[in-house]
Amino acid sequence: MNQSEKKTNPYIVASFYKFTPLPDYELLRQPLLDGMIQCHIKGTLILASEGINGSFCGTRENIDRYKALLGNVQPAFSNIRFIENDNDSNPFDKSKVKLRKEIVSMGVEGVDTVENTGVHVKPEEWNKLISEEDVLVIDTRNDYEIELGTFKGATNPKTINFRDFPEYVRTHLMGEKTKKIAMCCTGGVRCEKSTAYLKQLGFENVYQLDGGILSYLESMPEEQSLWVGSCFVFDNRVAVDNQLNRLSSGTVDLEWKNKFRVKQFDDNSM
C-alpha cells in the first residue's frame, strides 16, 4: 500500500490477539472494560484461560493510552502486536469485554498454541510460498467471509463457523500429512490455532500468514497482491478493500449485509 496516497482518518481500528496462560482471566474483565470507557475506546475483547483476542477503535491518542493500560493490567499484554488501519468513523457501537472458554472457538481441548504452531510467513514472503505448485493453501475463515474475497487459488473449507474446521481436517486432510499446507485468516488467531491443531495431529509442513490477511493487505502493493475481492471484518464496516478502505455504500449488497449482522460474529472475531 502506498501510504503517502492514503488520506489520514481520525480513527484507528486496532486488532490483536495473544495466546498466553491466564488462569485468573475472569479478574481481568472489569479493569479492561473500565479502561475502555476511561480511554473512550469502543470494540470487543474476548478473554479466556488461553489468552486474549479483540478489536477496538478510538483516536490515535486514546488507542495509545489503552495499549499502555493493557500492559499495566496484565504484564503479558505489554508486548502484544497490533494490526492497525485508520477509518473515518468508529465502526463499533459499544465497549465490551467477554469471558469465553476459548478466544477463538474451535471446540478442541489441549491444542498447544504457545509452543507448537506453524511456521510464520511474512507478507512479503507469502506470495512466493502460495505460488509453489506443491503447496495447499487453506483459508481457515468461514464460508460467508470467503464469499467476499480470498487469495488466488486458496481452498475454501466451506465451514459455517470455526468449530466446523476440525471435521474438515478429519474428512479432507488426514491423507496430506507430509504436504506443505499454508493457512490464512483475517488477523492471525484462527490460523494460529489451526496450524497448532494440525501439528498436534502429526502434520509436518504447516505454515501461516504472519499477521493475517489484514497485515498482508497493509504491506502488499496492490499491483503485487494475490488477494482477490474484499475482506470481511467483524465490525460495522462489514468489509474493506485491498487497500483496507471501507467499501463505498452499495458495494456490499444490503441484503447480504443484513443477513450477516456483525453482532452475531463477536466470538469468531479475527
The Cα 25–Cα 40 span in angstroms is: 23
Confidence band, pLDDT 50/70/90 cuts, at residue 244: confident
Is 258 in the same domain as 134? yes
In this prediction, residue 263 carries a pLDDT of 40
User: Helices 189-200 and 165-172, interaxial angle, to 10°?
Assistant: 40
* Number of domain units in the chain: 2
Using a pLDDT cut of 70, give the percent of the chain over it: 89
Same domain, 134 and 74: no
Residues 99 and 76 both lie in one domain: yes
Mean pLDDT of the chain: 90
Whether 119 and 17 share a structural domain: no
Domain co-membership, 115 together with 28: no
Looking at the structure, tell me whether residues 30 and 16 fall in a common domain: yes
Do 45 and 139 belong together in one domain? no
Within this chain, do residues 61 and 178 fall inside the same structural domain, yes or no? no
Higher pLDDT, 40 or 253: 40
Last residue of a domain, one of 79, 103, 127: 103
What CATH number does residue 73 fall under?
3.30.70.100
User: Are 78 and 203 in a shared domain?
Assistant: no
Are 137 and 230 in a shared domain? yes
Look at residue 245 in the predicted model and tell me its pLDDT: 81
Task: Report the pLDDT averaged over residues 29-46.
Answer: 98
67-71, 136-140, 244-248, 257-261: segment of lowest average pLDDT: 257-261
CA pair distance 144, 141, nearest whole angstrom: 8
pLDDT in tens, 120-155: 999 999 999 999 999 999 999 999 999 999 999 999
Q: Which of 103, 118, 145 is the last residue of a domain?
A: 103
Residues 54 and 67 in one domain: yes
- pLDDT above 80: residue 247: no
- Same domain membership, residue 177 and residue 45: no
Sign of CA dihedral 98, 99, 103, 107: negative
> Cell numbers at residue 193, please?
490455532
Domain boundary among 73, 103, 133: 103
Domain enclosing residue 65, as ranges? 1-103
Active site residues per annotation? 185
**Cβ neighbours of 223 (radius 10 Å):** 5
